[in-house]
Amino acid sequence: MNTQMIISVMSSDRPGIVADVSGAIFALGGDIADLNQSVLRGYLTMILMVNFDRPITPKTIIETIAAVQSSTTLDVMAREISKQPDIEDISLPAKTYIMTARGRNRKGLVHGVSAFCRRHDINILDLATTMADDRYTMVLQLDLSRVSSIVQVREQLMTLREETGLTIMLQHHDLFKVTNEIPF
């Protein structure tokens, strides 16, 4: 019986974390299907989807990875997923938009923007923020599939701009694809 696990690992960044984690998974007989890792201000976080061709518990995985000889602490979580991922459905939805929000940093900006998305049933597919010289920049990839009126969202954005003092722009993802990618 196959088991599919979603595993997340967090640690102070250093060379060799991916090698250590993938080594432990290999030792358990796991096959890494998807992996995504990111480093933010010296901290690494990694999310993996792993297939095992035998029954295995999250506890075994966590203990095996945690037992790896490491100069940093590896915080591990694992969870079994029951539903097979729909491989056909990995492309971006047709109503994928990019929102950029920039302004002076203060508390609650991410919450203000993300709460706006929630109110309008907009799913955040990807989000990256940076701060430089007290200027805060958010770039969000959004799925507006459940939004019926883009005009209304744009109107509401005006209010959000006033409330947060952020400069907010919303454009279709296609625009960024065509200006930055060469089709092949």
Partner 1 sequence: MLRSDQILATVEMIQKEHLDVRTVTMGINLLDCRGDTPTKTGALIMERIADRAGKFVTTCDFVSRKLGVPVVNKRIAITPISFVAGGYSPAEFVILAKALDEAAKAVGVDILGGFSAQVEKGMTDTDQAFLQSLPEALAVTERVCASINIGSSQKGINMDALAMVGHIVKDIAYESRTQNGFGAAKFVVFCNQPGDNPFMAGAIHGVEEAETVLNVGVSGPGVIARALERLIAARQSEGAPLSLDEIAEEIKQTTFRVTRCGELVGRQVSEMLGVSFGAVDLSLAPTPKVGDSVGEILHILGVDAIGAPGSTAIIALLNDAVKKGGIFAAKTVGGLSGAFIPVMEDAVLAEAVGKDELSLEKLEAMTSVCSVGLDMVAIPGSVDGDTIGAIIADEMAVGLINHKTTAVRIIPVPGMEAGDYVDFGGLFGASPVMAVRNVGKSSRFVKWGGRLPAPIHSFKN
Chain contacts with partner 1 (rule: CB under 8 A): 97-98, 100, 125-126, 128, 130, 137, 139, 141, 150-151, 154, 167, 169-172, 174-181
CB closer to partner 1, 72 vs 176: 176
**In whole angstroms, how close is the CB of 28 to partner 1 at the nearest point?**
31
**In whole angstroms, how close is the CB of 126 to partner 1 at the nearest point?**
4
**In whole angstroms, how close is the CB of 121 to partner 1 at the nearest point?**
18
Is 129:139 a contact under the CB 8 Å cutoff? yes
Q: How would you class 37 by CB atoms within 10 Å of its CB: exposed for 0-12, middle for 13-18, buried for 19 or more?
A: middle
CB closer to partner 1, 27 vs 169: 169
CB closer to partner 1, 21 vs 109: 109
**In whole angstroms, how close is the CB of 80 to partner 1 at the nearest point?**
28
Is 102:136 a contact under the CB 8 Å cutoff? yes
DSSP assignment of 63-100: HHHHTS--SS--EEEEEE--SPP-GGGGSPPTTEEEEE
Pairing of strands 135-143, 123-132: antiparallel
